[in-house]
């Protein structure tokens, strides 16, 4: 059969990969445990490798078998504590696992591949030991356990391992049953016999490891019979399948007993073992087929010639111990026992099932994708129905539409969940990666993870895999110092890499933090200049935070020497681009000698996203909300006139900062719309594209909606202004704007980092320590004050007629509370007048749950400026005087001022 049964091989590969998935982690755990090695961990690994060995053997995958076998031998010695899990041993095992994975990946050619290196490494470990020690190998294993079933149920297995074992057994018994029924039809079908053999063999092997000897001996007896059949020494006939089917019943009952921890459910397998042995003594039947080469290859698996030395040897005494019973019971026919098992079987049915086999199933990803598409359609249909029902006065329709709405949302949520995978799937390879890197770099690194179970859509998991790997590499290579350097700094020699994932506000946050050296900002500055990434002027004005962000600029690498780990200058910018491609963002915080934290925020899914719908030139467009910063509406002719022009480029002063404007009708060349200079209002959608913000001017902002993203057709792929299409509630198609593409085509963004630098400088002057946003108010007709905006809670316009007096204090009812009022002129002792007829401007200041309203003559403006106090004041509540908007202005300190007034 060998490669004829590709389906079987495929299944084997998938299964083996699954087995191997957590082997690495377990090996690393073993290394950590050192002398206190946890036998159950070793057993798990052993079992995985053993299953691979067994299956590979009978499929004729000799290379794979050989390697797995060697690995198994080493593991066995580990289990029996003959060798210690030193770094060398674990290394060899890790290499072997890698190679096995590689062999599995290229299974067709696996027999021709070279495994000599790995064999040698494992062999060296084995050679260090006395060969005689093999015989004692069962000192530490599960085999020590007495052979009674009750004890078997008490095995100290982790819940997970037990569950895994049970699941596997259930799968195998189901398969067995099917195959046995099939073989009754086609007695000499090799593939089926092989499959039966394999299932039984797996059950035997794994029950051996968990120490369930009853089960093991039964499976073993069945296996022996099957070996004879497979090798053509016995002809298969109905009575055999009958006995074998009985075996399955008993095995099932044993599994059930183990599952429910109730040993009374288990049937006795002794009689069956006897029947099986009896069958083996039948006369060999001539086989109508000559032995094929693959049959020879699998010859290893007959117990006598088996290389699975330990297990087989271990079984022999046990089997022989059964033999006396067998011979005495050999006359017992099979059938009487069946009545007993039938009775128990019916009894079993009465037991409420907590069936393992039904708790999870494997589903093809393409089916999930299709489901997702269907749900997308359903969401659209729902949106349409909702629109209709809102217009209709039919109460019944509205009620059912509402119900449809709820069900659809629920369905959407659940279908999305089916595609969710825990981030731990990606993280699981990091401990190994970190360990290997640490060894190469001569560092000691510990990895800690939090929030492994945080779930993300499959496609997003795929997309973040590479960026995350890169960041982890970078951290170990550059972030964490050598042990010596760490000791010098007074830190523990072992560095810590900390991964954390959590949900927040519909986004997933992933943090990669270390307690390493932090970024060397001076070196980044020097490197940025050397690489001409920014001009010296710009650099001088950049804040530390902005300097740190420079590492995301293409072509930047500060690694002094290019190691084979990282530092080729194509790292961080790619990370950033990839994360941004899926609508995420990357943020970096660093503190010299303390550590670095990189925070990635990514959306949960890409298929259905929240968006705002805008109208421009009678066309609707969707803008993903991840790009949205805020919406600004300029009302009235005067406001619209505040749009200024720099060399033909429109800009708007948004809180003192220049916001470049892009008119959507111009960017898309849809011709002049109503957006003209003599317009009454202007809608600005403030968007962020990479590090920059810009205002997109549209005719109207319609609504926000959940939209289903559909890809652009091939003919439109070249258009950078759009990222996709969607169907609106009324069934019409709308384009989804690609904010970054739009920014680039409108030259808001350029690939030249110099301009980015200018932007950073701009930001810096705003965020810098001495720059503040000030509220400028008139105290009376002639005097002017300024208050830092950060100290103000709210600005209100209130009707002076609502002012009441209570306990000689002016108060006003404000948001269902009593707000005490103070007149700024009186507090300052300047005197002034208030218009009693129009609304008054009140500055609300809140501290410790208490609010105070400060009545001012008039609010003049909000301005952002570098505060340069000309005449410092010594009075509490007053910072000093300065020139602001061409007028001498007194800068006030609100908390100080009000504490004075109280």
Least distance from another protein to the Cβ atom of residue 744, Å: 13
Among 734, 740, 821, 856, binds another protein (CB under 8 A): 734
Q: In what order do the strands lie in the sheet with 771-778?
A: 858-866, 771-778, 784-788, 887-892, 878-884, 871-872
Measure the CA–CA gap between 212 and 146, rounded to whole angstroms.
Answer: 9
Q: Between residues 544 and 666, which has the closer beta carbon with respect to another protein?
A: 666
Could you list the beta-strand ranges (E) of 637-770: 644-646, 649-654, 657-663, 681-689, 692-698, 700-708, 722-727, 733-737
Nearest-approach distance from CB 665 to another protein, in angstroms: 9
Instruction: Please tell me whether residue 388 binds another protein under the rule CB under 8 A.
Output: no
Cβ-contact 635, 439 below 8 angstroms:
no
Q: Give the C-alpha distances (Å, rounded to integers) separating 541 from 321, 520, 656, 765.
A: 86, 17, 19, 8
Of 715 and 751, which has the nearer Cβ to another protein?
Answer: 715
How far apart CA 679 and CA 636 sit, in angstroms, is: 8
Q: Does position 233 bind another protein by CB under 8 A?
A: no
Give min distance, CB of 622 to another protein, in A: 12
* CB contact set of 508 (below 8 Å; sequence gap of 6+): 423, 454, 456, 460, 501, 502, 601, 602, 603, 604
Nearer to another protein among residue 232 and residue 376 (C-beta): 376
Both tokens of 528, joined, read 């940025």
The contacts of residue 624 (CB under 8 Å, 6+ apart) are 583, 609, 610, 611, 723, 736, 739
703 alpha-carbon distance from chain centroid: 31
Shortest Cβ 671–another protein spacing (Å): 9
- Binding of another protein at residue 674 (CB under 8 A)? no
Nearer to another protein, 714 or 815 (CB): 714
- What is the dihedral sign for C-alpha 47, 48, 53, 56? positive
- Residue 375 beta carbon to another protein: minimum distance, rounded to whole angstroms: 12
Q: Least CB distance from residue 742 to another protein, whole Å?
A: 10
Q: Is 619 one of the binding residues for another protein (CB under 8 A)?
A: yes
Strands of 628-635's sheet in order across: 628-635, 681-689, 692-698, 657-663, 649-654, 644-646
Q: Is 744 a residue that touches another protein (CB under 8 A)?
A: no
Nearer to another protein, 561 or 669 (CB): 669
Residues 246-305 that bind another protein (CB under 8 A): none
Report if residue 672 touches another protein, rule: CB under 8 A.
no
Contact characters 61-100, another protein, x per CB under 8 A: ----------------------------------------
Could you tell me which residues come within 8 angstroms of residue 667 by beta carbon, excluding any fewer than 6 positions away? Answer: 696, 721, 742, 745, 746
Considering only 45, 727, 739, 852, the residue that binds another protein (CB under 8 A) is 727
Q: Which residues of 558-573 are buried (b: 16+ CB within 10 A; e: fewer)?
A: bbeeeeebbbeeebbb
Binding to another protein in span 494-523, by CB under 8 A: none
Q: Interface with another protein includes 614 (CB under 8 A)?
A: no
Q: Which of residues 589-608 bind another protein (CB under 8 A)?
A: none
Supply the angle between the helices 190-209 and 309-329 in degrees, to the nearest 10. Answer: 100
Nearer to another protein, 317 or 718 (CB): 718
Residue 434 engages another protein in binding (rule: CB under 8 A) = no
- By beta-carbon proximity to another protein, the closer residue of 506 and 731 is 731
Q: Which CB atom, from 18 or from 674, has the smaller least distance to another protein? A: 674
Q: Find the shortest distance in angstroms from Cβ 749 to another protein.
A: 17
d(CA 420, CA 414): 10
For residues 195, 196, 198, 204, the Cα torsion angle rounded to the nearest 10 degrees is: 170
CB of 632 to another protein, least distance (A): 24
567-586 positions binding another protein, by CB under 8 A:
none
CB of 513 or CB of 608, closer to another protein: 608
**What is the arrangement of strands in the sheet containing 445-450, beginning at the earlier edge strand?**
445-450, 495-504, 507-514, 595-603, 585-591
Q: Shortest gap between Cβ of 714 and another protein (angstroms)?
A: 4
Q: Which residues of 859-892 are buried (b: 16+ CB within 10 A; e: fewer)?
A: ebeebebebeeeeeeeeebbbbbbebeeeebbbb
Interface of this chain with another protein, residues 187 to 226, rule: CB under 8 A: none
Binding segment for another protein among 39-47, 96-104, 545-553, 723-731 (CB under 8 A)? 723-731
How far CA 580 is from CA of 108, 143, 423, 627, in Å, comes to: 39, 55, 18, 10
Residue 675 vs 725, nearer CB to another protein: 725
Site membership for another protein, residue 722 (CB under 8 A): yes
Under 8 Å between Cβ of 434 and 447: yes
Query: Residue from 226, 380, 588, 685 that binds another protein (CB under 8 A)?
Result: 380
For another protein, the binding residue among 670, 767, 782, 847 (CB under 8 A) is: 670
| C-beta of 292 vs 731, nearer to another protein | 731
Q: How far is the CB of 721 from another protein (least distance, A)?
A: 6
Q: How far is CA 315 from CA 76, 474, 753, in A?
A: 15, 51, 71
- Unique residue bearing structure tokens 């946890």: 38
* Straight-line distance from the first to the last Cα atom of the chain, in angstroms, rounded to the nearest whole number: 95
Residue (32 or 730) nearer to another protein, CB: 730
Out of 238, 732, 794, 835, the only residue in the binding site for another protein (CB under 8 A) is 732
Q: How far is the CB of 833 from another protein (least distance, A)?
A: 56
Contact 586, 598 (CB under 8 A): yes
State the nearest-atom distance from the C-beta of 722 to another protein, in Å.
Answer: 8
Report in angstroms how near the CB of residue 645 gets to another protein at its nearest: 24
Identity of the residue, 667 or 682, whose beta carbon is nearer to another protein in the bound complex: 667
CB 385 to another protein: min, Å? 14
* Number of residues near another protein (by CB under 8 A): 23
φ, ψ dihedrals at 584, nearest 5°: -105, 180
Q: Which is nearer to another protein, 151 or 744 (CB)?
A: 744
Cβ 581 to another protein shortest distance, Å? 21
Return the biggest CA–CA distance within the chain. 122
Centre a 10 Å sphere on the Cβ of residue 1 and count the other Cβ atoms it contains.
Answer: 19
What is the contact mask toward another protein in residues 680 to 719, using x (rule: CB under 8 A)?
Answer: ------------------------------x--xxxx-xx
**C-alpha to C-alpha distance for 736 and 613, rounded to whole angstroms:** 9
**Residue 361: burial class (beta carbons within 10 Å; 0-12, 13-18, 19+):** exposed
Residue 731 contacts another protein per CB under 8 A = yes
Instruction: Tell whether residue 366 is a contact of another protein (CB under 8 A).
Output: no
370 binds another protein (CB under 8 A): no
Nearest CB to another protein, comparing residues 618 and 770: 618
Q: How far is the CB of 46 from another protein (least distance, A)?
A: 50
Candidate ranges 135-143, 297-305, 453-461, 730-738; the one touching another protein (CB under 8 A): 730-738
CA distance readout (Å), 893 to 132, 142, 177: 86, 75, 84
Min dist CB 60 to another protein, Å, is 40
The residue (of 616 and 783) whose beta carbon lies closer to another protein is 616
Name 82's Cβ contacts closer than 8 Å, sequence gap at least 6.
Answer: 129, 133, 136, 137
Q: Which is nearer to another protein, 597 or 745 (CB)?
A: 745
Residue written as token pair 């404000």 = 814
The separation between CA 121 and the C-alpha centre of its own chain, rounded to angstroms, equals 35
Measured CA to CA in angstroms, residue 114 lies from 51, 66, 88, 175, 611 at distances of: 21, 11, 21, 34, 54
The residues binding another protein (CB under 8 A) are 377, 380, 619-620, 668-670, 710, 713-716, 718-719, 721-722, 725, 727, 731-735
């Amino acid at each position: 059969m060998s490669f004829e049964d590709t389906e079987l091989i495929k299944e084997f590969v998938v299964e083996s990969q699954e087995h191997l998935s957590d082997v690495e982690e377990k090996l690393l755990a073993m290394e950590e445990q050192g002398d206190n090695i946890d036998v159950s961990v070793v057993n798990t690994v052993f079992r995985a490798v053993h299953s691979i060995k067994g299956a590979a053997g009978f499929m004729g995958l000799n290379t794979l078998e050989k390697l797995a076998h060697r690995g198994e031998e080493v593991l066995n010695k580990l289990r029996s504590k003959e060798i210690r899990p030193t770094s060398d041993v674990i290394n060899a095992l890790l290499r072997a696992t890698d190679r096995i994975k590689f062999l599995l990946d290229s299974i067709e050619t696996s027999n021709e591949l070279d495994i000599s290196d790995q064999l040698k490494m494992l062999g060296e470990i084995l050679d260090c030991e006395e060969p005689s020690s093999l015989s004692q190998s069962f000192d530490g294993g599960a085999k020590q356990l007495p052979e009674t079933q009750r004890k078997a149920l008490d095995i100290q297995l982790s819940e997970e391992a037990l569950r895994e074992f049970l699941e596997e057994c259930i799968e195998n018994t189901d398969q067995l049953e099917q195959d046995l029924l099939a073989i009754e039809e086609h007695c000499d079908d090799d593939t089926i016999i092989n499959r039966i053999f394999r299932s039984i063999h797996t059950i035997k092997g794994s029950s051996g490891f968990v120490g369930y000897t009853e089960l093991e001996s039964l499976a073993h007896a069945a296996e022996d019979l099957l070996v004879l059949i497979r090798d053509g020494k016995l002809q298969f006939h109905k009575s055999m399948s009958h006995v074998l089917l009985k075996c399955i019943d008993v095995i099932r009952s044993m599994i059930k007993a183990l599952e429910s921890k109730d040993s009374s459910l288990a049937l006795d397998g002794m009689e069956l073992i006897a029947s099986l042995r009896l069958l083996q003594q039948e006369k060999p039947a001539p086989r109508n087929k000559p032995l094929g080469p693959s049959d020879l290859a699998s010859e290893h698996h007959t117990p006598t010639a088996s290389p699975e030395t330990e297990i087989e040897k271990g079984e022999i005494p046990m089997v022989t111990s059964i033999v006396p019973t067998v011979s005495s019971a050999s006359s017992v026919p099979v059938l009487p026992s069946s009545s007993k098992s039938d009775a128990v079987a019916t009894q079993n049915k009465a037991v409420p099932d907590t069936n393992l086999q039904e708790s999870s199933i494997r589903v093809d990803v393409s089916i999930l994708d299709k489901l997702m598409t269907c749900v997308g359609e359903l969401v659209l249909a729902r949106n349409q129905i909702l629109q209709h029902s809102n217009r209709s006065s039919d109460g019944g329709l509205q009620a059912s539409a509402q119900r449809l709405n709820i069900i659809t949302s629920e369905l959407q949520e659940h279908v999305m969940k089916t595609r969710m995978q825990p981030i731990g799937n990606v993280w699981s390879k990091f401990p190994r990666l970190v360990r290997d890197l640490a060894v190469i770099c001569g560092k000691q690194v510990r990895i800690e993870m939090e929030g492994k179970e945080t779930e993300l859509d499959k496609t997003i998991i795929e997309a973040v895999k590479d960026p995350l790997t890169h960041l982890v590499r970078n951290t170990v290579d550059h972030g964490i110092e050598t042990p010596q350097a760490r000791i010098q700094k007074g830190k523990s020699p072992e560095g810590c890499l900390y991964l954390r994932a959590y949900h927040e506000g519909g986004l997933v946050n992933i943090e990669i933090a270390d307690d390493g050296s932090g970024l060397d900002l001076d070196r980044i500055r020097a490197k940025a200049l050397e690489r001409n990434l920014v001009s010296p002027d710009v650099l001088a004005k950049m804040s530390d935070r902005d300097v740190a962000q420079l590492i995301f600029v293409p072509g930047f690498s500060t690694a002094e020497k290019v190691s084979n780990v990282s530092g080729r200058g194509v790292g961080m910018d790619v990370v950033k681009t990839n994360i941004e491609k899926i609508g995420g963002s990357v943020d970096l915080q660093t503190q010299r000698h303390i550590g670095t934290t990189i925070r990635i925020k990514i959306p949960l899914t890409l298929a259905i996203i929240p968006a705002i719908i805008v109208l421009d030139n009678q066309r609707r467009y969707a803008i993903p909300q991840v790009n949205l910063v805020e919406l600004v509406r300029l009302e009235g002719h005067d406001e619209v006139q505040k749009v200024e022009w720099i060399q033909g480029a429109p800009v708007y002063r948004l809180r003192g900062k220049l916001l470049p404007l892009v008119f959507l009708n111009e960017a898309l060349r849809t011709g002049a719309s109503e957006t003209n200079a003599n317009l009454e209002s202007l809608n600005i959608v403030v968007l962020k594209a990479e590090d920059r913000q810009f205002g997109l001017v549209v005719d109207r902002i319609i609504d926000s909606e959940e939209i289903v993203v559909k890809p652009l057709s091939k003919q439109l792929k070249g258009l950078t202004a759009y990222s996709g299409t969607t169907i609106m509630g009324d069934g019409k198609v709308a384009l989804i704007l690609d904010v970054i593409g739009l920014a680039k085509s409108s030259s808001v963004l350029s690939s030249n980092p110099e301009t980015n630098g200018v932007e950073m400088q701009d930001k810096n002057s705003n965020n810098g320590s001495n720059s503040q946003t000030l509220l400028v108010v008139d105290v009376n007709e002639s005097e002017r004050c300024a208050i830092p905006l950060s100290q103000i809670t709210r600005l209100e316009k209130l009707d002076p007629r609502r002012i009441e007096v209570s306990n000689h204090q002016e108060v006003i009812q404000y948001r269902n509370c009593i707000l005490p009022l103070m007149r700024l002129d009186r507090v300052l002792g300047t005197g002034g007048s208030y218009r009693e007829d129009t609304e008054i401007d009140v500055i609300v200041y809140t501290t410790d749950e208490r609010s105070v309203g400060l009545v001012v003559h008039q609010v003049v403006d909000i301005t952002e400026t570098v505060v340069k106090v000309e005449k410092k004041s010594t009075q509490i509540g007053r910072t000093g005087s300065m020139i602001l908007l061409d007028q001498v202005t007194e800068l006030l300190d609100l908390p100080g001022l009000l504490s004075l007034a109280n």
